[in-house]
Amino acid sequence: ALNVLLIGVGQCGNRILDEINKQAFGGGRLSKYFGRQKFPSNVKTVAINTSRNDLKELEYTKAKDRLHITHLHGVGANREEGKKVYEKNKDSIFKKLEEDDHYDLCFIISSTGGGTGSSFSPPLAQDLKEKYDFQVHSISVLPFRSEGTIFLQNTAFTLRELSDSGLDSIILVDNEFLRKGKDEDIHSAYSRINQMVAERMLFLLKALDSEMMLVTDLGDFKTVMDSGNMFATIGFCNAGENMRVESAIKKSLSPNGLLFDSNIFNEASRAMVTIQGEKDSLDMDGITRIIDKLSDEIGHVFKGVVVTDSNPRVLSVVSLDSSEELDDVFDKAVEAVEIEKKKKELQEENDEVFSKIDGMEPEY
């Protein structure tokens, strides 16, 4: 069995981690598949936050798996502040992570737009990679584009620092892309998106940690993630009763299944497709045909099949060579930095106004 370390940092990371714990152990609707006994890997979850209230909100993450970093009321969205807080506290963070001493695989989950998660994740990834030789991947949640300039500029710098940190891949989840129109209330959007991420994560661990024939493993995952530009995303499709497995594979790789907007035929580098389902529902020739076709179109595709007692479900991990959507995020971030810079200049001008009365006292 694999030893897996899942770290959720900041509010977004904590909540997704909590949802993973819920679905794995807490009586969520998938617990019958991922209940404690059936869960293949040894998973340690750790929720880290500077905000005690965010940690208190968690329902399915054990108290011993939470680490509060004292810093008044969080770090706001200030990443410079956040990075200092990380440096000051990294010994206590590592003490917590090292309560178990051996891991094969680690995921760091956080948003890119906020403060704590976005500023802790890059140096944490770097420290883990320098100290150990297990794979470290980030699950990075991009903001709604309407959330403002600070979140956008944080996103661009966080992604750059993550990509410089030495980690193995940056798996993108995009709130904006996953929102169901402008009418969806933000809290329902969060819980729906968190459920989608958790469902895929648990499936992925199962896909990497099965002892059956024809399975994908940690080596395949690494080969997929090693290619391309470090960025990746995950697709999923639950075929239900009436969908053929081939259609489910295609759907998992379409905008309907992916967590980040990408046209995989132009942008994918490699992929790993894992299919789960009842033996009789899996048409192996059909599966082989479509995987071969995908390999021709996008590059190497690893294939795995896990026999379970559920309807066919497909998980696709895709590494990217390029991304139009990410280019757009960076263009928006450049605009955001410009806007913030102008605001700061304006503020300095205002400060100058006051300097006109420096050294003076009011006369009556």
| Binding region for ligand GDP (CB under 6 A) | 10-12, 15, 74, 110-111, 113-118, 141, 143-144, 147, 151, 175, 190, 193-194
Whole-number minimum distance, CB 270 to ligand GDP, in Å?
Answer: 26
Q: Rank residues 28 and 228 by Cβ distance to ligand GDP and give the closer one.
A: 28
Task: Assign 3-class secondary structure to the chain.
Answer: CCEEEEEEEHHHHHHHHHHHHHHHHCCCCCHHHHCCCCCCCEEEEEEEECCHHHHHCCCCCCHHHEEECCCCCCCCCCHHHHHHHHHHHHHHHHHHHCCCCCCCEEEEEEECCCCHHHHHHHHHHHHHHHHCCCEEEEEEEECCHHHCHHHHHHHHHHHHHHHHCCCCEEEEEEHHHHCCCCCCCHHHHHHHHHHHHHHHHHHHHHHHCCCCCCCCCHHHHHHHHHCCCCEEEEEEEECCCCCCHHHHHHHHCCCCCECCCCCHHHHEEEEEEEEEECHHHCCHHHHHHHHHHHHHHHCCEEEEEEECCCCCEEEEEEEECCCHHHHHHHHHHHHHHHHHHHHHHHHHHHHHHHHCCCCCCCCC
Q: Rank residues 11 and 323 by Cβ distance to ligand GDP and give the closer one.
A: 11
Whole-number minimum distance, CB 201 to ligand GDP, in Å?
Answer: 13
Whole-number minimum distance, CB 40 to ligand GDP, in Å?
Answer: 26
Whole-number minimum distance, CB 319 to ligand GDP, in Å?
Answer: 22
Whole-number minimum distance, CB 133 to ligand GDP, in Å?
Answer: 28
CA distance 110 to 137: 11
Q: Rank residues 143 and 277 by Cβ distance to ligand GDP and give the closer one.
A: 143
Whole-number minimum distance, CB 223 to ligand GDP, in Å?
Answer: 29
For residue 103, the one-letter residue type is Y
Whole-number minimum distance, CB 259 to ligand GDP, in Å?
Answer: 10
Q: Rank residues 135 and 138 by Cβ distance to ligand GDP and give the closer one.
A: 138
CA-wise closest residue to 75 among 94, 55, 50: 50
Q: Rank residues 193 and 230 by Cβ distance to ligand GDP and give the closer one.
A: 193
Q: Rank residues 190 and 231 by Cβ distance to ligand GDP and give the closer one.
A: 190
Q: Rank residues 12 and 215 by Cβ distance to ligand GDP and give the closer one.
A: 12
Q: Rank residues 110 and 262 by Cβ distance to ligand GDP and give the closer one.
A: 110
Whole-number minimum distance, CB 331 to ligand GDP, in Å?
Answer: 18
